[in-house]
Structure 1
Amino acid sequence: MGKIYTTRWTMGRGIFYTMIGYVSGSVLYAKVFGKLFCQKDVTEDTIDGNPGTTNAFLNGGIWCGICTLLCDLLKGILPVYAYMHGLPGADIWITFVLAAPVAGHIFPVFHRFRGGKGIAVSFGVLLGLYPYMKPVLLLACCFLLFSFVIVITPNYHKTFATYLFATILVLFFGKNSYVSLGMILISALVLGKLMLCREEREEIKVKLL
């Protein structure tokens, strides 16, 4: 009887935080702070129409960009950290809790399921695994590698390479299979969004510095 209760409690808790993560991700802070700081939609008249940090900085100014970046990170960090708090280790539900804020940002319920690329929030959810930092460090290292060592341009191709290689590294070097599955889901969401994005895809260029 106790085992059944524990299983139901674990499932209920996992579903709750997955839903909280999705709703949290559905708040597009680039639009919120664009209206607050400059009374406009920062995605208008942009190439990709992306409600993310880059357009917040470019079209909303430095404070709009900083606030958007911080909140996009936090909406990923908080649900994951809250779910992990007090647990002896990650369970199967962390896979979905990790992916939920990214899914919410990409397919936001508050914006007719038309959202951003999920890059900042994906860093946020991985930071929420603290003190287990290996996945976010691998993602950051891949981003730096393809930005400053093996320089891949334009950003479409750099982002694709970053998430693909980071996922492979997490699968090989990650210590928790459920977190690795979460990383696979995150990358599938981000790369799927990239392929659906309306921005023009220029030819890939690779340069070794």
Structure 2
Amino acid sequence: MYRIFARIVCVIIGYGFGLFQTAFIYGKMHGIDIRKHGSGNSGTTNALRVLGKKAGLITFIGDVFKAVVCSAFIKLLFHSDSKMLYIYVLYAGLGVVLGHNFPFYMNFKGGKGVAATGGVIIALGDARVTLIGFVLFFCLSLITRYVSLGSIVAVTSLIISTFVFNQTNHPVNHWPTHKENQIEAYILIMIFIIFVLIRHRENIKRLLNGTERKLGVKEA
């Protein structure tokens, strides 16, 4: 019962952290409602296109940082239950993504949760998994200039790299020891991927038909 309650608490706390909308706040500080410009998303890519490189960088760092800080708080709060920390961080991370994507005070219209998911990946504490994800994101985004493609592949790599490392003698750091918790962890990771795929469904359609907008290319 305690651990069920802890899971719920983690999601609620995560949602609270996710409500810190970096792009929206930065835009308001400069007299712009980010939701009324560009794609209308309160995320890094739209901030970059509408407000410039500085805004894009600040938004990316802010959205990553809120997930990292939330995870650190969760680890501090539940440090006595160390065997469950990986699971708790995942639940808190899902809460952050939900808060970022669906902030109640913005009529549930936020971002797509990629940077926040990146923060969760960092917080899970395995440098190998983190490096793979971020290298894929930046390389694909720079080479193809499709940020959406880089985002989708990077987040998807989380489940692949986690599974591959866990099949070796060097499993990911802090991975649960009990079989039931391992299955739960895989399910939670898949939920992150599903969130990103759903939020990028229109991008996926445009990528398939060749009409996705490239980074740095202005609309005609």
Aligned to 2:48: 57
Equivalents in 2 of 1:35, 1:192: separation in Å? 27
Q: Which runs of 4+ in 1 moved over 4 A?
A: 196-202
Moved more, 138-147 or 107-116: 138-147
Aligned to 1:187: 193
Q: Are 1:25 and 2:21 matched, yes or no?
A: no
Q: Is there any run of 5+ residues in structure 1 with no aligned partner, and where? A: 1-6
Equivalents in 2 of 1:69, 1:13: separation in Å? 29
What pairs with 1:71-110 in structure 2 (closer than 5 Å)?
A: 71-85=62-76, 86=79, 87-89=81-83, 90=85, 92-110=87-105
Contact 1:80 1:125 in 2 (8 A): yes
Aligned to 2:178: none
What pairs with 1:1-209 in structure 2 (closer than 5 Å)?
A: 7-8=1-2, 10-36=3-29, 38-46=30-38, 48-85=39-76, 86=79, 87-89=81-83, 90=85, 92-130=87-125, 132-147=126-141, 151-152=143-144, 154-174=146-166, 175=172, 176=175, 177=182, 179-196=185-202, 200-201=206-207, 202-203=209-210
Equivalents in 2 of 1:79, 1:168: separation in Å? 25
SS in 1 for 2:34: coil
Query: CA separation of 1:160/1:173 partners in 2, compared to 1, >3 Å: closer, same or farther?
Result: same
Among the aligned pairs, what percent are the same residue? 22
Q: Is there any run of 5+ residues in structure 2 with no aligned partner, and where? A: 167-171, 176-181, 213-220
Moved more, 81-90 or 98-107: 81-90
Report the CA distance between 1:91 and its aligned residue.
Answer: 5.2
SS in 2 for 1:114: coil
- Structure with the bigger RCO (C-alpha within 8 Å, sep 6+) is 1
SS in 2 for 1:81: helix
Structural RMSD (CA): 2.9
The number of residue pairs the alignment matches comes to 193
Equivalents in 2 of 1:181, 1:117: separation in Å? 20
Equivalents in 2 of 1:134, 1:179: separation in Å? 18
Equivalents in 1 of 2:160, 2:118: separation in Å? 16
